[in-house]
Amino acid sequence: MADAEALTPRVFIARHGETEWAKNGRHTGKTDIELTPYGIKQVHTSAKELVGAKKLLDPARLAHVFVSPRIRAQQTFHLLFEGANSVPDESVTVTEDIAEWDYGDYEGLKTAEIHALRKSRGLDAERPWSIWKDGSEGGESPEQIAERLDRLIAQIRDIQRPAMKGEKAADVVVVAHGHILRVFAKRWLNCPVDLPVDMVLPPGGIGILSYKNNNVNEPAIQIGIALPVTD
């Protein structure tokens, strides 16, 4: 079983490193903000420890990389895959399907400020606001988020379906943002956007999704990692 699991295609979800707005708790959707120097170090550390030949994320096993068009995600992608770990241009797709949630009227606001704004508009009399249930005024709804993520997941499944037992390199990397990657994980499991489960993916962090039983119809989350065995 261990050998079969090692051959099952994986999806690595990589969150961009720290930005000033993220550090301050401000909702950052379409605003283009670069990584802080510390954010660059976060990604460098992840790349050094996890990316490379015979490491957890081996570029030789990659079939494709999907990247958000926002500059913070672009920087993160290039930091992860620079030098000997670079990937061919034809294996990289920059797509709005994995861009961060469009926060609309809430762009740049902290959570407490969003609650105050909504209260001033007569909203949330029965329960507190939840991005997962209510979305953003002037921005995207949970249904819109699910639609674009489901479209991306379908592309990934098409890439990985012919290689469920290691027939060819089929790992995929998705480089994006905190909120959208948490929804991506829920939709990967065919769960609703408002599934009441807390997920944490720190800036510069990398998570892993895969499948049970080498079956494309049994998507799963890897809750632990086994590092590659080297001689």
Which residues define the annotated binding site for substrate? 28-29, 72, 100-103
From the DSSP assignment, how many helices (H) and strands (E) are in the chain?
8, 6
For residue 224, what are the contacts with CB-CB under 8 A and spacing of at least 6? none
First to last CA, the chain: 21
d(CA 202, CA 166): 30
Torsion sign across C-alpha atoms 64, 66, 71, 77: negative
Q: Which residues are annotated binding-site positions? A: 28-29, 72, 100-103
DSSP run (H or E) holding 171 = strand 171-176
Determine the Cα–Cα distance for residues 101 and 27; give it in Å rounded to an integer.
9
59: nearest Cα among 83, 92, 81: 81
Mark out the alpha helices in the chain (DSSP H runs).
2-7, 20-23, 37-50, 71-80, 111-120, 131-134, 142-160, 178-188
Rounded Cα gap, residues 170 and 50, in angstroms: 18
Active site residues: 16, 100
